Amino acid sequence: MYELIPITAQSFYIQSPAKIGLVKVTEDTVCLIDSGNDKDAGRKVRQILDANGWKLQAIYNTHSNADHIGGNAYLQGQTGCKIYAMGTECAFTRSPILEPSFLYGGYPPKDLRHKFLMAKESDALPLTPACLPEGFSIIPLPGHFLDMAGFRTPDDVVFLADCLSSRETLDKYRIGFIYDVAAYLKTLEQVKEMKARMFVPAHAPATEDIAPLAQYNIDTVLDIAEHIFNACASPLSFEALLQKLFADYGLTMNFEQYVLVGSTVRSYLSWLKDQGRLTAFFHQNMLYWERA
């Protein structure tokens, strides 16, 4: 873990729970794509930088989930590097309490105010094309989170953030976090058609051919949507539906899974309702979902 893996002479990634991209800007300066999940991750990144005599110029965050921005504060404090993030992701990076608040739908209890869902705040700036080193490009990847983005490097390596999961993760947990199902499926279709020298997803192996994994993610999303649709053959409240899905997929409920899976299930319900496949109604002050 935290091994520096070369892709080309210019582009690398650091093997970690959420892969960190590292790209040489000059012979002795580099930028990072994300920073890991916490201060310890930041320390390990700093050790790699020091061992290679590299100066950190900037961190480009793909999105504001805590496991991607957790090393920001430490690395910025140690190196003075600039940090950039897209749109709403920039606001969440500057004010990390927004993530557990967003997931919970109110002020989060202490059970959710920890590093897994809430990184240390960092002084992020809005990401625009003008902020990038020469030859880099931003790839919008909406769906998983609010304004998530990936990056294509000058040597044609594409960092894909969280826009897809590994087969192993999907087979084990089934329901991966999604904010906007329609946007997520559109992103996956876009990714499926991409060509690059190498693709580096944050939570799946690096590969030269991303299309099969993108299709597997698409198929999984559609399968889960169908499962939810079928579950609503008789009216179900959200809590009853969530309980059924946890049982059907062999998941274990805790605060983190309640907000992560729960938020995702709400997104599926919104998508199915917008498609006209589900309807919602209130009965005795309870919201129920059923097939249209």
- Confidence (pLDDT) at 118: 97
The burial of 193, by beta-carbon neighbours within 10 Å (0-12 exposed, 13-18 middle, 19 or more buried), is given as: exposed
Residue-wise pLDDT tens digits, 203-247: 999 999 999 999 999 999 999 999 999 999 999 999 999 999 999
Question: Strand order in 4-6's β-sheet?
Answer: 4-6, 11-14, 20-24, 29-33, 55-61, 82-85, 124-126
- Confidence (pLDDT) at 135: 97
Domain finish residue from 145, 162, 179: 162
| pLDDT at residue 40 tops 90 | yes
For residues 113 and 242, state if they share a domain: no
- Confidence (pLDDT) at 167: 97
Domain span at 88: 4-162
| pLDDT at residue 1 tops 90 | no
Domain finish residue from 126, 145, 162: 162
Give me the mean pLDDT over the 4-14 stretch: 98
Instruction: Give the domain CATH number at 105.
Output: 3.60.15.10
Whether 199 is covered by a domain: the verdict is no
For residues 140 and 243, state if they share a domain: no
Whether 146 is covered by a domain: the verdict is yes
Single out the residue of 38, 47, 45, 178 nearest to residue 122, CA to CA.
Answer: 38
- Confidence (pLDDT) at 138: 98
Chain mean pLDDT for the chain: 97
Q: How many domains does the chain have?
A: 2
Residue-wise pLDDT tens digits, 151-169: 999 999 999 999 999 999 9
Single out the residue of 219, 216, 181, 182 nearest to residue 201, CA to CA.
Answer: 216
- Confidence (pLDDT) at 216: 98
Residue-wise pLDDT tens digits, 51-86: 999 999 999 999 999 999 999 999 999 999 999 999
- Confidence (pLDDT) at 69: 98
d(CA 17, CA 67): 8
Residue-wise pLDDT tens digits, 115-153: 999 999 999 999 999 999 999 999 999 999 999 999 999
Whether 120 is covered by a domain: the verdict is yes
Domain finish residue from 133, 162, 191: 162
- Confidence (pLDDT) at 92: 98
